[in-house]
Amino acid sequence: MINVFNPADGSVVGTAPDNSVAEVQAAITRTCDAFPGWSRKLAKERGDLLRRWFELVRADRLVFAELLVRENGKCLSEALGEIDYGLGFIEWYAEEAKRVYGDTIPSHAANAQVIVVKEPAGPTAAITPWNFPFMMIARKIATALAAGCTMIIKPSELTPLTAYKLLEYARRAGIPEGVFEMVTGNPKDIGQLFVSDTRIRKISFTGSTAIGKLLASACGNDLKKMTLELGGNAPFIVFDDASFDDAVAGLVSAKLRNSGQVCISPNRVYVQDAIHDRFVAAVAQKVAAIRVDQGLQDEFVVGPLINQLGIDKVAELVDDAKHAGAKVVLGGKPHAKGGLFYEPTVLANLEDEMRVAQTEIFGPVFAIYRFRNEEEVVRRANNTEYGLVAYVYTRDLGRAFRMSRNIEAGMVILNSGSVGTASIPFGGVKHSGYGREGSYYGIEEYVEVKYVLMAGLDK
């Protein structure tokens, strides 16, 4: 058994199975054996099962949210937000199952018909991280099942409890064994079993770039399809013509979400010269008013980081920046509460060469940089191996358009700090991965296009 700890106080919240290699292999076999039956079900039948599942979970969203707070540390309002976000995918793909349309193409041959159909890719596997333990799984499984694929998932061993609860509700809704399987144990061994099994035709992974690259290389052996949602180093760019208060509010809410442990978290905040000092002061003032605490309460609070590794990394990055000349405007050290709490921190006077600029911080640290003009900030924003999301605040229409074209990212968000919902294609470029999740683009990742030529029709 694997113990699951509450990051707010170190208590044990529950346990998850420590599956052996043989158990994982048996679960993979069930996933593969279930594929022919599931893929041949009517799309409406699959959609109906997803819909029933969505309704059962929605009725108990508070139960899920409280468990999520206990295993992950985020506060209750955020946990409820995550449950609704995840449920949005199950609802969306329950509907989308019926809309995996193919095509007909004007025939190149006489007396023939050209048909293009989309067929489910096969049995699939997924590996998910701890920062959105519910949403990540809901998003992957709902898409796979809607497309007609079966799926085996390995959630993060740090946060497997909401995942197993979701599985329990799937069974209650009538989604059978094999169609949706779950395992936990040794991540490396399970990953190896997923990638080396030639019956698994696709892997969807969300996590670090390092592990994503390992898995992608291994998947090259039998050319498995992949969707990779990896790390980010999001620029958050504020021009001096922006709506100032909106930009401050957008930044603070985007950054403090899940204590900054989010791949789309603003990692480098670029503020134009003329408003820079006022902006830094306004952010610090707003952040100082937010409490740090455990999450089981109605008020929005900044929760703990996930584990000691997480807090050590944040502390190291902040200390390194301090030594290199950063100005600590707010916070700057582990919180007096102790444990895994870190003070919400605002750093200014930063340079692009510092480690904090080049590393995904994954903590409640606002790293603020000064810039002079558009051309310069585009160059600096793109000067990273990552390309997941960029936020830009400006009221100049031409500039908004140019920025949306010139930024290298899978997602560009103008005048808002909010990115995700079920209806948009989420994903990155460069070392942030490839493939998209959500929207009708998401389902394309789980199908293979088959061209059928029906010739000799007049015989």
| Binding residues vs ligand ADP (CB under 6 A) | 127-129, 154, 156-157, 187-188, 191, 207-208, 211, 214
Q: What angle do CA 57, 63, 68 make, to 5 degrees?
A: 100
Nearest CB to ligand ADP, comparing residues 124 and 128: 128
Catalytic residue check, 229: yes
Starting from the edge strand earliest in sequence, which strands make up the sheet with 113-120, in order?
A: 103-105, 113-120, 447-454
Of 82, 96, 229, 437, catalytic: 229
Task: Give the whole-angstrom CA distance, residue 57 versus residue 69.
Answer: 16
Q: Which two tokens stand for residue 79?
A: 């946990």
Q: Which is nearer to ligand ADP, 175 or 262 (CB)?
A: 262
8 Å CB contact between 265 and 251: no
Question: Is 263 annotated as catalytic?
Answer: yes
The gap between the terminal CA atoms of the chain, to the nearest Å, is 65
CB 183, min distance to ligand ADP, A: 11
Q: How far is the CB of 101 from ligand ADP (least distance, A)?
A: 33
Q: How far from chain centre, in Å, is Cα 392?
A: 20
Residue number with CB closer to ligand ADP (214 or 275): 214
Nearer to ligand ADP among residue 48 and residue 157 (C-beta): 157
Contacts for 374 with CB less than 8 Å, ≥ 6 apart:
239, 399, 402, 403
The least distance separating ligand ADP from the CB of residue 270, rounded to whole angstroms, comes to: 25
Greatest distance between any 2 Cα atoms in the chain: 84
Distance in Å, CB of 208 to ligand ADP, minimum: 3
> CA–CA separation, 144 vs 437, rounded Å?
11
Q: Where are the alpha helices (DSSP H) in 305-410?
A: 308-323, 355-358, 374-382, 397-406
- Tell me the two tokens of residue 393: 């605040």
Those residues whose C-beta lies under 8 Å from the C-beta of residue 171, and which sit 6 or more positions away, are 177
Which residue, 143 or 206, has its beta carbon nearer to ligand ADP?
206
Residue whose C-alpha is closest to residue 339's, from 305, 313, 315, 362: 305
Q: How far is the CB of 43 from ligand ADP (least distance, A)?
A: 30
Report which residue's Cβ sits closest to ligand ADP: 191
Closest to 79 in 3D by CA, of 292, 297, 264, 344:
297
User: Which one from 75, 263, 437, 445 is the annotated catalytic residue?
Assistant: 263
Q: Which is nearer to ligand ADP, 104 or 196 (CB)?
A: 196
Kindly report the number of other CB atoms within 10 A of residue 87's CB atom.
22
Q: Where are the alpha helices (DSSP H) in 73-134?
A: 76-96
Q: How far is the CB of 402 from ligand ADP (least distance, A)?
A: 33
Q: What angle do CA 364, 366, 372 make, to 5 degrees?
A: 165
Q: Smallest distance from the beta carbon of 395 to ligand ADP, in angstroms?
A: 36
Residue type, 237: I
Give the total residue count for the chain.
459
Closer of 206 and 272 to ligand ADP (Cβ):
206
| Residues belonging to the active site | 229, 263
